[in-house]
Amino acid sequence: MESWTPDLQSWVVEPLLGAGLDLEEIRSLVFRLAFEALVAPERGPAAILRNVVAGESEAVQDAWAQTISRLILVQDLEPAD
């Protein structure tokens, strides 16, 4: 996987920034996602993704869904190794 450009990185997290989160809060969500995936993989990806933002506002939950969609889109656009 090649390194993402700053513009691409900004585009991916833009929904969360638009929902009022700062970069540290976004890092915290990503850390929680990684932690949940490691300690509770049996829950499945959809449940883990929802659980990460379960206590957040509806705006943040919607932004999170859009951010995850953008991550998937970027991953799908990358050439296979």
Q: What is the pTM of this model?
A: 0.85
State pLDDT tens for residues 9-27. Answer: 999 999 999 999 999 999 9
Going from N- to C-terminal start, the domains of the chain cover 6-77
CA 48 to chain centre: 11
Q: Answer yes or no: is pLDDT of 80 > 70.
A: no
Q: How many residues does the chain have?
A: 81
CA 80 to chain centre: 21
28-45 b/e (C-beta count within 10 Å ≥ 16 → b): ebeeebeebeeeeeeeee
State the average pLDDT over residues 29-45: 93
As a whole number of angstroms, the distance between CA 13 and CA 61 comes to 13
Residue, of 76 and 18, whose pLDDT is higher: 18
